[in-house]
Amino acid sequence: MRLKTEIIVAAELKRAQSLGLFATILHKGDANAGQIYIVLNKNNNEFLLIGPPFGTSIDDEGQKIWHFPLGELSISLGELDEYLNKIRKFDPDIYVLEIEDKTLEYRPTGILPSQQNADILALKQQADDLFKS
């Protein structure tokens, strides 16, 4: 049985706040099955996006799988907005959380493989091809 999205979102917000980080919901999606994207805001100029991989986002043991859809390096607000707007057009049911984290070290609960993993890179390419204008 999968947890409802709203429960996972509440847990991530509480976890971030327990670490002394400000966290909020930027876009509320489907409470039962919406995908979750987490924006780490370093200083209102540098951002890092963590989201679900293309395809399944739960492993065989029920753990949530995450990845860096725009890479592991900081991105600008423009790049972030462009990507999230494309995602929202395709899937309006997503949740977007923002966590202010000056070190960009916050990681959500679950599995976050390195971007260097060839499987993740292949899935990222598939997602990029899907969202090309």
pLDDT at 101 (0 to 100): 95
Residue 10 phi, psi dihedral angles, 5° rounding: -60, -40
pLDDT at 119: 59
Around 85, how many Cα atoms within 13 Å sit in the side-chain half-sphere? 7
Amino acid 22 reads F
pLDDT of residue 118: 47
- What's the whole-model pTM score? 0.83
User: Domains in the chain: how many in total?
Assistant: 1
Q: Is 110 left (phi over 0), alpha (psi -120 to 50) or beta?
A: left
Residue linked to tokens 């395709």: 90
- Indicate the residue type of 40: L
Bridge-based pairing of strands 47-50 and 36-41 is antiparallel
Collect the ranges in the chain with pLDDT lower than 50: 115-116, 118
The whole-number pLDDT of residue 123 equals: 67
Q: Which domain holds residue 77?
A: 5-130
CATH number for position 47: 3.40.1530.20
β-strand 47-50 against 95-100: which pairing, if any? Answer: unpaired
What is the reported pLDDT for 63?
Answer: 85
